[in-house]
């Protein structure tokens, strides 16, 4: 079962790896695009449309829905609710997700997928078995399965990223699901789909070959070599069915793993030639082990995500060299978020109930600011990270929470929604010059962390700025090195006096964006102030 195993594993990691977490998780790492300046000087952000990282793949801001707690059942699917449509889909939730514009959603797990038999979730609903989900010790009714998810994705305007069971599941059964989803007709599994009432194939493009197979908590956990061979076999069989699929192998579950990077190397030695991407996962916490309760340190944790990406890419490219391969892998950061409160005991044990309240983390302002920083990190790694999933989307470590009468937006909703709304076109290689501060075991940390995009279609520039200074507003000067932005189209800031403030059903707007005074531009420079403890987005026309 997930809870005790993983908890004790993490505690063990805490006793060893996390005790030196400051070194292990931070190391000495400062973003390459950052230069320090004198404490009194204004911070400068240099923008140059010729200095570009990569075209932005919008799948960088995907999300995740697992059969876990109230994510699927009650969250997006609740046939008994007055708020649901004739499919049993919560209409208010669909509207919210459409408004957000989530491009891709990973499903059905997570740990859940490693014990999941997809055949339990297709066909006449009255014949589907109620089963024990061993990952979360919960009951799964299977009333929502593959076809319901595909129908829901269409309604929500998003693309599926399908997870496969490589724990208890076989490569043959994984390939059968590809056949069920993607072959038009005339084969065993495509005809079964048609018999179930779905004539048209779904053409699912992207697939995850298992989940966190390096973790001793994972059902079917195995060695890296065993997994690499299994992933290779699954990939070959899946491509025999549909050669157009894009496949993601399971990388390390995080830098706290004792097998971190070695796992990735050994897996890729087996399956490099057969896959397109490698996954990585990370949940950030504000525990005494991780930050000593220091908000200054907590808000710098996104720099450790930069580092994790760099290290994982180094391994991908090492194996590429060994194989003399012309192919370069991309990364799928397909689980990332803040998660540290609802992480053990009752919070992860479903007690053999259907739709139990699990992992219902309530996020505060400080968490939202770090999520903003993590979005900046993803943007500046957009040349190799082509897909990423905020884990998760509804009720379970999520930006959106539901109850029988409605929903509310958690604090982390806002930076995520800004990325979806304003990050467009090409990611700029933004140069930041900012004073720095010291935290133990970390290179000097820049007060400001910035990322930006420029959309070549309409010339709009967007800038995302985290101010890690907890006590002072910071003066910022944007230096336009070629084409200065003209009209300010949007300027919003997320800030507040209380870093621990949260939203709830009773106070859904306690933490929400406020308009920032629109700054003016002259002689190729734009000056403004970002408040203490804040995450800001600005957008200009060309």
Distance (Å, rounded) from C-alpha 445 to C-alpha 438? Answer: 6
CB of 411 to ligand AHR, least distance (A): 19
Catalytic residue among 66, 74, 140, 335: 335
CB of 135 to ligand AHR, least distance (A): 7
Name which of residues 66 to 125 contact ligand AHR (CB under 6 A). Answer: 66, 109-111
> Could you confirm whether 212 is annotated as catalytic?
yes
Whether residue 211 contacts residue 114, with contact meaning beta carbons closer than 8 Å, is answered with yes
Whether residue 404 contacts residue 332, with contact meaning beta carbons closer than 8 Å, is answered with no
Residue 118: DSSP 8-state: G
Number of helical (H) and strand (E) elements in the chain, helices listed first: 13, 27
| 141-162 b/e (C-beta count within 10 Å ≥ 16 → b) | bbbbbbbbbbebbebbebbbbb
CB of 66 to ligand AHR, least distance (A): 5
> Could you confirm whether 360 is annotated as catalytic?
no
Whether residue 529 contacts residue 447, with contact meaning beta carbons closer than 8 Å, is answered with no
Using CB under 6 A as the criterion, what x/- string covers residues 183-222 for binding ligand AHR?
----------------------------xx----------
CB of 348 to ligand AHR, least distance (A): 9
Name which of residues 301 to 340 contact ligand AHR (CB under 6 A). Answer: 335
Distance (Å, rounded) from C-alpha 467 to C-alpha 447? Answer: 6
Name which of residues 364 to 403 contact ligand AHR (CB under 6 A). Answer: 391-392
**Count of residues of this chain found to bind ligand AHR when the rule CB under 6 A is applied:** 9
Helix (H, G, I), strand (E, B) or coil at 303: helix
CB of 115 to ligand AHR, least distance (A): 11
228 binds ligand AHR (CB under 6 A): no
Nearer to ligand AHR, 343 or 474 (CB): 343
Using CB under 6 A as the criterion, what x/- string covers residues 28-67 for binding ligand AHR?
--------------------------------------x-
Whether residue 57 contacts residue 387, with contact meaning beta carbons closer than 8 Å, is answered with yes
Name which of residues 333 to 362 contact ligand AHR (CB under 6 A). Answer: 335
Distance (Å, rounded) from C-alpha 69 to C-alpha 139? Answer: 10
Catalytic residue among 159, 212, 290, 361: 212
Nearer to ligand AHR, 337 or 429 (CB): 337
CB of 20 to ligand AHR, least distance (A): 22
The neighbouring-strand residues paired with 448 are 467
Nearer to ligand AHR, 67 or 380 (CB): 67
**SS3 track for 165-191:** CCCCCCHHHHHHHHHHHHCCCCCHHHH
Residue 485: phi and psi, rounded to 5, are -65, 150
Catalytic residues: 212, 335
Positions touching ligand AHR (CB under 6 A) are 66, 109-111, 211-212, 335, 391-392
């Amino acid at each position: 079962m997930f809870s005790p195993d993983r908890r004790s594993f993490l505690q063990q990691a805490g006793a060893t790896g996390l005790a030196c977490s400051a070194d292990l998780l931070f190391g000495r790492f400062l973003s390459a695009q950052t230069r320090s300046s004198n404490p009194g000087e204004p911070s400068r952000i240099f923008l140059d449309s010729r200095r570009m990282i990569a075209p932005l793949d919008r799948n960088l801001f995907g999300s995740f829905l697992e059969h876990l707690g109230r994510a699927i059942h009650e969250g997006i699917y609740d046939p008994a609710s007055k708020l649901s449509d004739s499919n049993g889909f919560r209409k208010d939730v669909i509207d919210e997700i459409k408004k957000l514009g989530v491009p891709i959603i990973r499903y059905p797990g997570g740990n859940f997928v490693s014990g999941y038999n997809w055949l339990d979730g297709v066909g006449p609903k009255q014949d589907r078995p109620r089963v024990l989900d061993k990952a979360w010790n919960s009951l799964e009714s299977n009333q929502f399965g593959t076809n319901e998810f595909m129908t829901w994705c269409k309604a929500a305007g998003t693309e599926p990223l399908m997870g496969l069971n490589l724990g208890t599941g076989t490569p043959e059964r994984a390939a059968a699901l590809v056949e069920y989803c993607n072959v038009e007709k005339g084969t065993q599994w495509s005809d079964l789909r048609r018999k179930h009432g779905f004539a048209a194939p779904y053409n699912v493009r992207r697939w995850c070959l298992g989940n966190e197979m390096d973790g001793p908590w994972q059902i079917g956990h195995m060695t890296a070599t065993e997994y690499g061979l299994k992933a290779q076999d699954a990939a070959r069989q899946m491509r025999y069915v549909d050669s157009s699929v894009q496949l993601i192998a399971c990388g390390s579950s995080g830098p706290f793993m004792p097998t971190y990077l070695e796992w990735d190397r050994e897996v890729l030695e087996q399956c490099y030639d057969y896959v397109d991407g490698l996954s990585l996962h990370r949940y950030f916490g504000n525990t005494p082990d991780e930050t000593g309760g220091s908000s200054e340190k907590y808000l710098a944790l996104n720099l450790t995500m930069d580092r994790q990406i760099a290290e994982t890419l180094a391994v991908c490219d090492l194996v590429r060299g060994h194989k003399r391969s012309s192919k370069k892998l991309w990364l799928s950061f397909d689980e990332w978020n803040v998660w540290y409160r609802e992480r053990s005991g009752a919070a992860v044990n479903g007690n053999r109930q259907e739709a139990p309240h699990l992992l219902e983390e309530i996020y505060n302002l400080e968490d939202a600011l770090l999520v903003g920083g993590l979005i900046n990190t993803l943007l500046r790694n957009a040349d190799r990270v082509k897909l990423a999933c905020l884990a998760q989307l509804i009720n379970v470590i999520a930006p959106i929470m539901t109850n029988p009468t409605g929903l509310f937006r958690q604090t982390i909703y806002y930076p995520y929604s800004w990325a979806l709304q304003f990050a467009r076109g090409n990611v700029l290689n933004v140069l930041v010059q900012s004073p720095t501060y010291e935290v133990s075991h970390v290179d000097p940390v820049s007060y400001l962390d910035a990322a930006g995009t420029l959309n070549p279609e309409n010339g709009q520039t967007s800038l995302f700025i985290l101010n890690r200074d907890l006590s002072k507003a910071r003066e910022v000067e944007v230096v336009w090195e070629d084409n200065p932005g003209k009209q300010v189209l949007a300027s919003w800031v997320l800030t507040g006096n209380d870093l621990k403030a949260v939203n709830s059903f009773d106070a859904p707007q306690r933490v929400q964006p406020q308009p920032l005074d629109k700054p003016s531009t002259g002689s190729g420079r734009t000056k403004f102030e970002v408040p203490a403890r804040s995450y800001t987005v600005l957008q200009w026309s060309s």
